[in-house]
Chain A
Amino acid sequence: MIPGHVAPPVVAPAGGPWAARAAERSPFWRLVAVELRKLVGTRSDKLVLVFAPVFLIGLMVLFTLPQTNLASAGKQIGPLLIVVQLGLLLVFATVIKLVAGEWQYKSVQPTLLVQPSRVRYFLAQGTVLAIVWLACSLFTFVLYPLLIRTAANGNSHNYLLGMRLGWVLGVAMLATALVLLTALIVSLLVPNTGGALTVFFIVVPILMLARMALPEVFGLIYPLEAAWHLAGLGTGWVQTACSLALWLALLAFSLFRLQRRDAG
């Protein structure tokens, strides 16, 4: 030992400390923790997420309290499907920024150099999306019945969702899952934040309007058709099955692209 020699040895023989550390895979929760941190990694992400609940509540109030025809359970749950698509847009914007932004700025490169498995990377992002999905679904499920009940009472209609809360929860969860899945697919196929946001913000609302106008035709490609079906407002099994098959195929294709995409 040389007195005063403080520089640590960098390299150890094969099987030394670095080899032991390199042979130990990082636990999956660490990947999820990093992706969660990325979700709120910039000032704009934080701002958007802070305003997201305000925006959602505002949209919920807008689409529930002015309703005058709430005579059936279908009429009472219908606004929920619109609220999920429009009210959660800010949350979906953050998700799109997380997924597409990583590829746009190539910041996926340092991530893959530390943790090269693209499958684990995607699963970590998927877990973050699942957390977002649960939070949004539950938030909607807690708040929406309260507002629609107020609206129904104001119109002297019976509140019909109270005895079907499991169904309401199912519709809220399925609808939120389908829109999130659409956001994920768009982000994976268009690895550019601006482009992905534009596609998502144009495609989803336009398809919703088109589906309302011509449900038999646009129900075939409308990503939320299955949720509308579950809500009892679907067009038919053909549209539901076709829509599910289309979007699941797009998901598979986007994952195929992800595996092969050049990370810079």
Chain B
Amino acid sequence: MLTAWGLTKAYEGRTVVDQVGFELQPGTVTAFLGPNGAGKSTTLRMITGLTRPDRGQATVAGRPFTAWPNPAHVAGVLLDAAAVHPGRSGRGHLRMAATLAGVPARRADEVLEVLGLADAATRKIGKYSLGMRQRLGIAHALLTNPPLLVLDEPINGLDPEGIRAVRTLLRGHASRGGTVLLSSHVLSEVDQTADRVLVIGNGRIVADGPLASLTTSSRSLVRAKDMNRLAGALQRGGVAIQPAPDGYIAAHAPVERVSDVTFAAGIPLLGLREEQMSLEDLFFRLTSGGRA
């Protein structure tokens, strides 16, 4: 649905996006993660034609976004929730977009209702909170019911209820065959929304894959009634160990190996599982200078 290859952009000699490429399939939610200044927004702007890439190209459903005569029907885009005229009303803003895209004006009221902004429809956007502006931006993206959604930090500023609603909305979109690309630095939210994570650091993609595979570590967490005996058995079995939170021992070996060692030593276990690296750990490991 969305393909990007070799996207590169430099400002005043400094490369902010370097050879970024990926392909998104229908029915998936992909998170685009990276710290501030990593190149997320620039990449999204290049995809949507607001910024010209120095090299590379992106296509949406086979054509560059701007080559579609009416691209709003291919991709709904939210890049900056603050990019709205504060003197206009939410409904007025969406109705103008509806006219431009060629969808009935009543669609503006429908999406305002879906995003919980019906009561504020006639209020000036300048009086909206950050969260309301975010929801207005998402409503703008949903206006034409497009197959692809490209959303830059869509949950920034939302309250917990709003975050849950947006997460449900995006998962629902993907479950109906739609494609979602969302950038975020709210890692815990991506954790519960995305099927796949693209991590960008220093302008380059440093990790790309399903969330579970990226956060899987090579360590196991193990707990027994007699922890001293467990530690001794593991060390004698040649498994390096470290203390871990919640009374566990972190064993530098796969769960199968730990299971074999403890079984052979006759130690009954209270718990044994693969250690999952938190997304925060992964994120900072990948983007703090080193590359995967």
**Contact residues in B for A102 (Cβ distance below 8 Å):** 85
A113 touches B69 (CB 8 A): no
**Out of A38, A42, A108, which one reaches B96, CB within 8 Å?**
A38
**Contact residues in B for A22 (Cβ distance below 8 Å):** 61, 68-74
Q: Counting CB contacts under 8 A, is B254 at the interface?
A: no
**Contact residues in B for A14 (Cβ distance below 8 Å):** 61-62
Q: Which of A94-123 contact B (CB under 8 A)?
A: 101-102, 105-117
Q: Report, as a range, how many residues of chain A touch the other chain.
A: 35 or more
What are the interface flags for A112-139 relative to B under an 8 Å C-beta threshold, 1 for contact and 0 otherwise? 1111110000000000000000000000
Of the candidates B92, B102, B147, the one having the most CB atoms from chain A within 10 angstroms of its own CB is B147
A9 touches B85 (CB 8 A): no
Q: Counting CB contacts under 8 A, is A164 at the interface?
A: no
**Contact residues in A for B100 (Cβ distance below 8 Å):** 26, 30-31, 34, 111, 114-115
**Contact residues in A for B72 (Cβ distance below 8 Å):** 22, 113-115
Q: Counting CB contacts under 8 A, is B272 at the interface?
A: no
B50 touches A19 (CB 8 A): no
**Contact residues in A for B88 (Cβ distance below 8 Å):** 41-42, 107
What are the interface flags for B63-78 relative to A under an 8 Å C-beta threshold, 1 for contact and 0 otherwise? 0011011111110010
| Bound-state Cα–Cα, A113 to B96, Å | 13
A18 touches B80 (CB 8 A): no
A11–chain B nearest beta-carbon distance, Å = 4
A33 touches B99 (CB 8 A): yes
| Stretch of B170-178, B232-240, B243-251 at the chain-chain interface | B170-178
**Contact residues in B for A9 (Cβ distance below 8 Å):** 176-177
| Bound-state Cα–Cα, A22 to B64, Å | 12
Of the candidates A18, A43, A102, A110, the one having the most CB atoms from chain B within 10 angstroms of its own CB is A110
| Bound-state Cα–Cα, A44 to B124, Å | 12
- State the majority secondary structure of interface residues on B: loop
B84 touches A10 (CB 8 A): no
B140 touches A19 (CB 8 A): no
A11-B147, A34-B100, A115-B100 known; A44 vs B87 contact (CB < 8 Å): yes
Of the candidates A102, A105, A262, the one having the most CB atoms from chain B within 10 angstroms of its own CB is A105
**Contact residues in B for A41 (Cβ distance below 8 Å):** 85, 87-88, 92, 96
A105 touches B61 (CB 8 A): no
B102 touches A7 (CB 8 A): no
A113 touches B79 (CB 8 A): yes
A10 touches B145 (CB 8 A): yes
| Bound-state Cα–Cα, A10 to B75, Å | 12
| Bound-state Cα–Cα, A109 to B79, Å | 8
CB closest residue in chain A, given B103: A21
Q: Counting CB contacts under 8 A, is B144 at the interface?
A: yes
A16–chain B nearest beta-carbon distance, Å = 9
B48 touches A113 (CB 8 A): yes
CB closest residue in chain B, given A19: B61
A110 touches B61 (CB 8 A): no
**Contact residues in A for B69 (Cβ distance below 8 Å):** 22-26
CB closest residue in chain B, given A105: B85
Q: Counting CB contacts under 8 A, is A213 at the interface?
A: no
Q: Counting CB contacts under 8 A, is A207 at the interface?
A: no
A11 touches B26 (CB 8 A): yes
B80–chain A nearest beta-carbon distance, Å = 5
**Contact residues in B for A262 (Cβ distance below 8 Å):** 50-51
B residues with CB within 8 A of A: 26, 48-51, 61-62, 65-66, 68-74, 77, 79-80, 82-88, 92-93, 96-97, 99-102, 140, 144-147, 172-173, 176-179
A residues with CB within 8 A of B: 7-12, 14, 18-19, 21-26, 30-31, 33-34, 37-38, 41-45, 101-102, 105-117, 262-264
Apart from A105-B86, A111-B97: 10 A-B pairs, beta carbons within 8 A: A9-B177, A10-B173, A18-B146, A22-B69, A23-B69, A34-B96, A34-B100, A107-B83, A107-B88, A115-B72
> Can you give 23 contacting A-B residue pairs, CB < 8 Å?
A11-B176, A14-B61, A18-B74, A19-B74, A21-B144, A22-B70, A22-B71, A23-B68, A30-B99, A30-B100, A33-B99, A34-B100, A44-B87, A105-B84, A107-B88, A110-B140, A111-B100, A113-B72, A113-B79, A115-B100, A116-B66, A117-B66, A264-B50
